[in-house]
Amino acid sequence: MSYKRILTIQDISCVGQCSLTVALPILSSCGIETCILPSAVLSTHTAGFSGFTFRVLTDDMPFIEKHWQKENIKFEAIYTGYLGSVKQIGYVKSIMETAGTDNMVSIVDPAMADNGKLYPLFNDEYVQAMKKLCFGADIILPNITEACFLTDYEYKETYTKDYIDEILRRLVNSGAKTVILTGVSYREGKTGVVVYENGNYSYYEHRKIAKGCHGTGDVYASAFTGAYLNGKSAYDAAKIAADYTVACIENTQGDPDHWYGVKFETALNMLGDMIK
């Protein structure tokens, strides 16, 4: 049985079911040894809570990288999510260069924007730095908002296939290799993901549950990474991650107190079954 060791770099939001508190359990349940590099520690995530604490761990990063080099610690994949600062993106790029095995896969979720807006704390300088990280990665998983920021293209709430094709064309022209574009909806009640790989586009459409939920991008990217590193194709991993995320959203519906994330734990068994 293949057993992989990977690294994920994203924040610890102590409360809020996102980033590392989601990535670790999902990747572990996919049978992958998951090492972590926390980009920052926050009391909660930044989308909906006010007065959160935020401590970046930027200054530790080069020392952590040096220690791993000394110990010859290497990872078969590096998957990044929410990062803490522009300087940190530079350190992450360096870690991608020094801490990977020869055939390391880099997976970048830009995790910086949604619904047409950057998350609080991010600005244009951050977007410019994120472009460099994304366009050097093997696989990126932007939503439409992030893809528009990455390609300096206008964000639209309603669109046709031509608009999505243009976003993909711009991403690929900028250097993107494999793209998993999430939240692409062409008709009422449905949404889906476009997978671009080796010059081919495919679309997986699934049910859209009325209300958008926080944290689903992290659930999706983690499940995708887990499935992909278990040998699924990019398209199959994108499909599995979509079905799993939909189940998590369904299991969270009807609980207004649970507005801050999705109950991703409730469908981990289903994810495991889909990956087998």
| Least Å from the CB of residue 121 to ligand PXL | 8
Which residues are bridge partners to 143 per DSSP?
Answer: 182
Q: Residues 214, 197: contact at Cβ < 8 Å?
A: no
- In DSSP notation, 20-39 reads HHHHHHHHHHTT-EEEEEEE
Size of the site for ligand PXL (CB under 6 A): 14
3-class SS of residue 40: strand
Give the contact letters, 7-26, x = binds to ligand PXL (CB under 6 A), - = no: ----x-x----xx-------
Query: Could you give the 3-state DSSP secondary structure of residue 237?
Result: helix
The mark string for 78-117 relative to ligand PXL (x by CB under 6 A, - otherwise) is ----x----------------------------x------
* The one among 6, 42, 137, 249 contacting ligand PXL by CB under 6 A: 42
Q: How far is the CB of 53 from ligand PXL (least distance, A)?
A: 11
Q: Which residue in the set 47, 64, 209, 270 belongs to the binding site for ligand PXL (CB under 6 A)?
A: 47
Of residues 45 and 239, the one with the C-beta less far from ligand PXL: 45
Task: Tell me the per-residue interface mask from 193 to 232 with ligand PXL, x by CB under 6 A, - otherwise.
Answer: ----------------------x-xx--------------
68 vs 91, beta carbon nearer ligand PXL: 91
Of residues 46 and 151, the one with the C-beta less far from ligand PXL = 46
Non-local CB neighbours of 259 within 8 Å, separated by 6+ positions = 48, 214
Measured distance CA(96)–CA(137) in Å, rounded: 9
Does residue 243 contact residue 227 with C-beta atoms inside 8 Å?
Answer: no
Minimum separation from the CB atom of position 261 to ligand PXL (A): 8
Distance CA 107, CA 141 (A): 8
Distance CA 176, CA 178 (A): 6
Among residues 107, 153, 105, 112, the alpha carbon closest in space to that of 129 is found at 112
Reduce the DSSP state of residue 138 to 3 states and report it.
coil
Closest separation between CB of residue 39 and ligand PXL, Å?
9
Kindly state whether residue 134 participates in binding ligand PXL, applying the rule CB under 6 A: no
Positions in the binding site for ligand PXL (CB under 6 A): 11, 13, 18-19, 42, 45-47, 82, 111, 119, 215, 217-218
